[in-house]
Amino acid sequence: MTWTRMDYGRLLDDFNVGAVYQHPFELTVDESVIGPYMASFIDATPTWTSTPFAKGLGFAGRPVPPHLLLNLGLSFSVHDTSQQAIAHLAYVKVAFPKALPVGGTVRAASRVIGAKPSSKGDKGVVHVQTVLVDEHGDRVLDFERKALIRAGAMSDRPHVPHDTAAAMGRSPDTDVGDTIASRPLPAGLFQPPLWGRLQDFEPGAVLVHANGRTVGDTEHMRLSAVCRNSHPLHWDAVYAKANSFAGERVVYGGLVLAWTLTQSSLDTGGHLLWEREWSAGAHPAPVLAGDTIFSATRVETVTQLSADVGEVTLRVVGVKNARPEALLAEGHDLFTAERAKDKADRTAAKVVEITRRVLVRS
């Protein structure tokens, strides 16, 4: 009997700098996607949860939450960039230049920025830019990331011709963050009784968020399916036993980031108007089913932009199976990037770290 097996993703030698990959999915992000996804996140940001609030900001309707956009972009790109990856290493820059309304349609593409082998030659770091483009050809998500990829070349990957001429889309003429920052907020816009207006933030302040989140085994698999993530590390116990450093399935990192951010939203998101940019992000350690995620935030900068709107820079971290205040009391530096530390000073419990620039109500 003859048979054919088609494998996806790429090994290190398959990445050519400048190459563009059009990813296979096109998805209308309607309530059938939003509902199952958001049911796993307690998000206090009314921009993503309230249609009247979103319309008060000038949107036609409720925008898709940025953490879902990132999870869709990451997941769509797995098919061509990271299905053979050992680990996701870093979020270099993540921007949300245009809102995607609920019901909008997206597709994704990636461009190879760099591919560098390790000194041993058995693996290497690949740097890609990925975009989500709406049905009008405008970018609603534009991000760069780095992944650790095994050396070699794929022999069983099907080569399907496709047109990449417009795959990366175009940057919108006006950045949505600039539009929000330039407009006065309308009278009567919902004001939740929560901390987190511009004047509440003080540079250097550390907020330890009270809620923890234990990750369910079937839950993280279901959410990976909602986002269209096809990496077998998250799905296939047989594959994971042979290929995962943990010897079992690993929770998809984009979900870990989303849980960390939404856990912080009761303290920092009630008056948040838009996510400008994320940077300096990484997953220093994996999360497995049954682990509990806690989060903490340090305020970096506070800037008044107009009478109604300001910008805040926040450093957000997630840790597993230990409360942040206990780690801080033990002397851990939670907010410095783990790769910037000496090995002896690293925090083994840290599972995600990222810097956010956000617009908030004054």
Domain spans in the chain, listed from the N-terminal domain onward = 12-152+189-361
- Contact (CB, 8 A) for 69 and 76: no
C-alpha 242/C-alpha 37 separation (Å) is: 30
Domain 12-152+189-361 architecture? Roll (3.10)
Q: Is the pLDDT of residue 336 over 90?
A: yes
Question: Phi then psi for 40, rounded to 5 degrees?
Answer: -100, 5
Measured distance CA(289)–CA(221) in Å, rounded:
10
**189-200 per-position pLDDT tens digit:** 999 999 999 999
Angle between helices 253-263 and 66-77 (to 10 degrees): 170
Of the CA atoms within 13 Å of residue 312, those in its CB half-sphere come to 27
Question: Above 90 in pLDDT, residue 313?
Answer: yes
Helix (H, G, I), strand (E, B) or coil at 130: strand
pTM here is: 0.95
Of the candidates 210, 148, 181, 188, which has an alpha carbon nearest to the alpha carbon of residue 273?
181
Whole-angstrom Cα distance, residue 58 to residue 349? Answer: 41
pLDDT, mean over the chain = 94
The pLDDT-based confidence of 318 (bands split at 50, 70, 90) is very high
Between 157 and 296, name the one with better pLDDT.
Answer: 296
CA separation for the pair 93, 90 (Å, rounded): 9
Q: How far apart are CA 249 and CA 232, in angstroms?
A: 8
- What is the percentage of the chain residues whose pLDDT exceeds 90? 85
Percent above pLDDT 70 for the chain? 100
Give the pLDDT confidence score for residue 2 in this predicted structure. 85
- The whole-number pLDDT of residue 121 equals 84
Structure confidence at residue 7 (pLDDT)? 82
